[in-house]
Structure 1
């Protein structure tokens, strides 16, 4: 059975939709219940192993989506990032060692762990030099999973995802530019843009990301591997905001403010390794992804 930890979040809810369609046997673990989530949910506290220890015995594969932060949450506070993210993962892995879990799939960051690029295209061999507490924590969790797997008790797949976009993304939680831009359009509020809007990012449809996660559950070639996962193309922040305005039919008011020190300027991920090993290619372009996200956001807002 697959255990999805963080299954009520943005990526998790989309993954549940995917697993239901492919008829996988899975169990969702979350700190809260969510209406409309078509899955059996076990309410746990990821910081407290006693709340989930017994459940682990039935799992063979776990998908780890739990995160207590986005890049800006603990921007200048590495201690809080470690306390809220790294330590809970260390306790989870320690407990998991005495169970039947054989494979871990961890969704990391395809930008924050690398830091400022030293190459025009970032492959998985690019040095990891995070410039933010968020990226540092992601890399620490990656290393814990990799190091503990060296004892032979489990395999892992680490997915360094670019910027996922799609249904269930929450602007209130700071979950990405598209969510904030569409919210600004619908609510007629001002969108704050850090810097001049020329920074380049790879935006992947969350459905494509969930396709990758589901494939990695059973693909032996993906075991003990690290993969970049993205759309394989980039757009500037300004371009994305323009697409959001065009899709919504509403002019978005913008305010350009000083960039943040924890932000990487441009991120171009190579997805060649994923394409080669799993025969996977993204199905959705950024415009169709934003259309789907707007339709979902508008339905929720108006409903």
Structure 2
């Protein structure tokens, strides 16, 4: 029964992982500067610490008490770091400081959340596998490549066991609809709130790989607890590409309503097309996604309605 530490665990992905781990009866520790999604969890197996990573004594205690560390901490996204690239320096520094602590513990395993949607840049032929060269076109993607490389360096020098998960575009429950990140979540929220949705770029040309959050969580825990996955990199996605036009059509089908859309500008930092090859994770640990696009949108829609009901 592994004990887990989630660093930056109160966000979208981390919250879903925490609930899944508690469902499995695992002991879970979380450190984050926010407590928005997990503050109401009442479970003897869960302990939350609202703090940043500068408290090295606390981080050491938590690393010492656990077996698997899932690193999700980040203060940026593609949009934010494109307007202020220096944000990524803070992310990189925090990760290196964490590695400096973990390197003293030879029996720990570190799972790093990376970004399959940004690290490959514009790869051309798709789907793209893990061996493809990394050519990010955004500061956010550059930052992810940097921390990946630091992790591989520390593993080589100090023997840290790791898994890098390059996630595609996740969506689903606990994703913040007010952040403007996550097109499916944002479009559904705008519909129920009576807002127009700003569509960036050409919806026919914008192609992404979308994964429902429960599939992402299952994949993460599979590679975390499977020894054959150690010291490896895995794409985690659906393995299928959908244009923004397809996404909007599916959403309209689920809602039974024509969306109100407006055009926005497409930043040069946004990848136009990316689809991940998920053969490696399937062959290594036997994982495949279970939730199709239509079902995922329906589940996300129920989550948005639940949020709005709480606000009333």
**Bin for the TM-score computed over the shorter chain:** over 0.9
Looking at structure 1, the residues matched to 11 and 233 of structure 2 have their Cα atoms a distance apart, in angstroms, of 23
Q: SS at the partner of 1:125?
A: coil
Aligned residue in 2 for 1:136: 142
Looking at structure 2, the residues matched to 12 and 42 of structure 1 have their Cα atoms a distance apart, in angstroms, of 14
Q: In the TM superposition, what is the alpha-carbon distance from 1:37 to its structure 2 partner?
A: 3.2
Moved more, 205-214 or 232-241: 232-241
- Correspondence 1:14-33 to 2 at 5 A: 14-33=16-35
Aligned residue in 1 for 2:41: 37
Aligned residue in 1 for 2:161: 155
Q: SS at the partner of 2:141?
A: helix
Looking at structure 1, the residues matched to 188 and 290 of structure 2 have their Cα atoms a distance apart, in angstroms, of 22
Looking at structure 2, the residues matched to 25 and 43 of structure 1 have their Cα atoms a distance apart, in angstroms, of 17
Structure-1-length-normalised TM-score: 0.94
Structure 2 gap segments, 5+ residues each: none
Aligned residue in 1 for 2:299: 292
Looking at structure 2, the residues matched to 50 and 261 of structure 1 have their Cα atoms a distance apart, in angstroms, of 41
RMSD: 1.6
Looking at structure 2, the residues matched to 247 and 46 of structure 1 have their Cα atoms a distance apart, in angstroms, of 42
Aligned residue in 2 for 1:283: 290
Which portions of structure 1, spanning 4 or more consecutive aligned residues, are displaced by more than 4 angstroms?
none
Structure 1 gap segments, 5+ residues each: none
Looking at structure 2, the residues matched to 60 and 101 of structure 1 have their Cα atoms a distance apart, in angstroms, of 7
Looking at structure 2, the residues matched to 178 and 136 of structure 1 have their Cα atoms a distance apart, in angstroms, of 25
- Correspondence 1:88-237 to 2 at 5 A: 88-99=94-105, 102-198=108-204, 199-237=206-244
Q: In the TM superposition, what is the alpha-carbon distance from 1:241 to its structure 2 partner?
A: 2.0
Q: SS at the partner of 2:70?
A: strand
Structure-2-length-normalised TM-score: 0.92
Looking at structure 2, the residues matched to 16 and 170 of structure 1 have their Cα atoms a distance apart, in angstroms, of 17
Q: How many pairs were matched up?
A: 302
* Residues 112, 264 of structure 1: 8 Å contact kept: yes
Looking at structure 2, the residues matched to 37 and 70 of structure 1 have their Cα atoms a distance apart, in angstroms, of 27
* Residues 228, 284 of structure 2: 8 Å contact kept: yes
**For residues 223-275 of structure 1, what are the alpha-carbon distances to aligned partners after superposition, in whole Å with 9 as ceiling and x for unaligned?**
01001011111111122122223323343211122211001111011000011
